[in-house]
Amino acid sequence: MTELKNDRYLKALLREPVDFTPVWMMRQAGRYLPEYKETRLQAGDFMSLCRNADLACEVTLQPLRRYALDAAILFSDILTVPDAMGLGLSFGAGEGPKFAHPIQNQRMIDNLPIPDPEQELQYVMNAVRTIRRELKGEVPLIGFSGSPWTLATYMVEGGSSKSFTKIKKMMYCEPHLLHKLLDKLADAVILYLNAQIKAGAQAVMIFDTWGGVLGFRQYPDFSLQYMHKIVEGLIRQNESRQVPVTLFTKGGGLWLEAIADTGCDAVGLDWTVNLADARMRIGHKVALQGNMDPSVLYAGADYIRREVKSILADFGEGSGHVFNLGHGIHQDVPTEHPKIFVDAVHEYSRQYHTAR
């Protein structure tokens, strides 16, 4: 494999010294970029774009051509695993994801296959291999998956939801069924992420987008324990380097200590958490990723820079911080604003690092 030229992101996740704070953006390859829209049009639809390794590689690299980002993230979708389980995933024009065969009973759960990553999900592994080759060692590549709980919400609800009534009804009325589904999903995600690592992903991240909709007592049982299982099952060493694992629960500020105790290397934070408080609570155990409100990128240059300075000051001196947004970048953000953000992180963070 090509030698990695910029490994600040990997070093920061392992809390090793860096010369400045690395930065990338969730959803950095996406529809806020006009070149992405052109490539998606070329593909025909979203899943066709995901399944074409060359086009998935192209959109992965597009933000790196505009901005001095310290990592690339695989262009794919969190719903590839349930799609490979045969639930009939589709994306309607202007609509969110929908499943033709949502999970409704034990028989459907029992009949769910665990996909072979190099068979049913080979298109994802082909994309990973293609991206690694085309990155030429400029920055590391992040692989990812949805968490079992988050995947289950879509599979039971049949798509996006605001109230999550179907899966919560299952959770409270038939918890044994939901645990069976979550356990099967955890097994599938372990295989999926390990295959991404073998194909060339140098770090992995688990997106628990909907963990924050769970109650205080329900989150450990129905979300966290399955992410813990995944962390324990992952390949942690590849290509003579450690493979860092980041867990991100949107709305997860209540459970930071428990998340850090899973054995992960880093915890992602949304913008509702104060970074100084998070560092005091868990920063001695794990690295922290985050956590600027994505909507700040609507603001002018001066405001963006002030917010970057404030967040850097909240974390303070030393390594162990990967700067990011608290969730994905919005699709109508002006394309010049992420450059202001990324450049500000690099410029203003140097004073907090002694590595040169």
**Residue 129 known to be catalytic:** no
Is 27 annotated in a binding site? The answer is yes
Of 27, 66, 241, 281, the active-site residue reads 27
Is 137 annotated in a binding site? The answer is no
**Residue 54 known to be catalytic:** no
Q: What is the pLDDT of residue 94?
A: 65
In a domain, 322, yes or no: no
Is 31 annotated in a binding site? The answer is yes
Of 40, 66, 129, 350, the active-site residue reads 40
Domain, as residue range, for 39: 29-289
With a cut of 50, list the residues of the chain below it in pLDDT.
none
Q: What is the pLDDT of residue 230?
A: 98
Of 19, 31, 236, 241, the active-site residue reads 31
Of 9, 36, 67, 154, the active-site residue reads 154
**Residue 40 known to be catalytic:** yes
Q: What is the pLDDT of residue 355?
A: 56
The C-alpha atoms of residue 336 and residue 314 are separated, in whole angstroms, by 26
Write the pLDDT tens digit of every residue in 53-89: 999 999 999 999 999 999 999 999 999 999 999 999 9
> Which residues, including other chains, have CB under 8 Å from residue 278's CB and lie 6 or more apart?
253, 256, 267, 269, 288, 291
Q: What is the pLDDT of residue 1?
A: 58
In a domain, 21, yes or no: no
**Residue 27 known to be catalytic:** yes
What's the structural domain count of the chain?
1
**Residue 154 known to be catalytic:** yes
In a domain, 311, yes or no: no
In a domain, 312, yes or no: no
Cα angle 82, 214, 102 (rounded to 5 degrees) comes to 30
In a domain, 140, yes or no: yes
In a domain, 256, yes or no: yes
In a domain, 298, yes or no: no
Residues constituting the chain: 356
The C-alpha atoms of residue 18 and residue 321 are separated, in whole angstroms, by 10
- CATH code of residue 156: 3.20.20.210
In a domain, 334, yes or no: no
